[in-house]
A = this chain, B = another copy of it.
Amino acid sequence: MDKTPGTSRPVRFRGGGFAPRPLGLVGALVFITIIILWELGSRTGVISALVLPAPSEAYVAFEELVRSGLLWKHLSASLQRLIIGWSSGALLGVLVGVAIALFSFARAGLVPLVSAIFPVPKIALLPLFIIWFGIGEGAKVATILFGTFFPTVIATYSGIDNLDRSLVRMGQSFGLSWFSIVRKIILPGALPAILSGFRISAAVAIILLVAAEMIGAEFGVGAYILMAGSLMATDQLIAGVAMLSCMGLTVAWLISRAEKYLLRWRR
């Protein structure tokens, strides 16, 4: 402190960083910019009107949907399928994932099965699905369930594989029951991986709405998109796709909330 301040300088700050802060408005801004550019592109003819209509046209189609009262019918049909299909697929996926991660037999028997069945395109199996589950709600929910099940399984067992076993040993040393160890040590430890798996499987579930509603669906956002596609009614197509995007945004937001609460212990 007896040094002249001229020769001294603060120690360079080297820490911090590598941890992005939320910038709430940027996301909205990006969307608005894209939509404005798209609209401008369409109006000036840079974007061919042939297949990609202007956002405003899609909005008109959407308004039509609202006016006719069909929006709610489509949405409620799809949401119901989504919620049932995704939640049962995710639940089963976590259960099977845990089994694979913990039992030698389950791992040896199921991992190859998962690897072999996951890559089979649901669309190719539509005829079989119809035979198995009929053309009612069963087949539609099953399609979504199938699609969400596999990514959840993989995310879950990889997440558990990646846990440091020393915490498990601690649990064993305190005589915790097997079930307690799974519930209180393994599942919370794998939770970040499971939630990231949910992000993926929820998006896959929404994608599969279209495949699911290929099976004799009268209402549903997927059915609406399919019809628009076969009629080349691109304005309706974009309106339908935008609805799926909104669902995706909503789900992503919900998972973010869940992460913020459940993973608040992360530094």
Contacts and interface: CB of A to CB of B under 8 A. Distances in A.
Question: Copies per complex?
Answer: 2
A196 B155 contact: yes
B203 A102 contact: no
Given A103-B20, A120-B244, A196-B159, A234 B165 contact: no
A46 interface: no
Interface in A74-120: 100-113, 115-120
A115 B105 CA distance: 36
Interface stretch (A2-10, A56-64, A204-212): A204-212
B52 A154 contact: no
B14 A175 contact: yes
A18 B127 CA distance: 40
Contacts of A67: none
A31 interface: yes
Contact of A128 (B52, B125, B246): B52
Interface of A: 14-15, 17-31, 48, 50-52, 100-113, 115-128, 131, 150-151, 154-155, 158-159, 161-162, 164-166, 168-169, 172-173, 175, 181, 186, 192-193, 195-196, 199-200, 202-204, 206-211, 222, 225-226, 229, 232, 234, 237, 240-241, 244-249, 251-253, 266-267
Closest 3 CB pairs of A and B: A158-B196, A115-B252, A119-B248
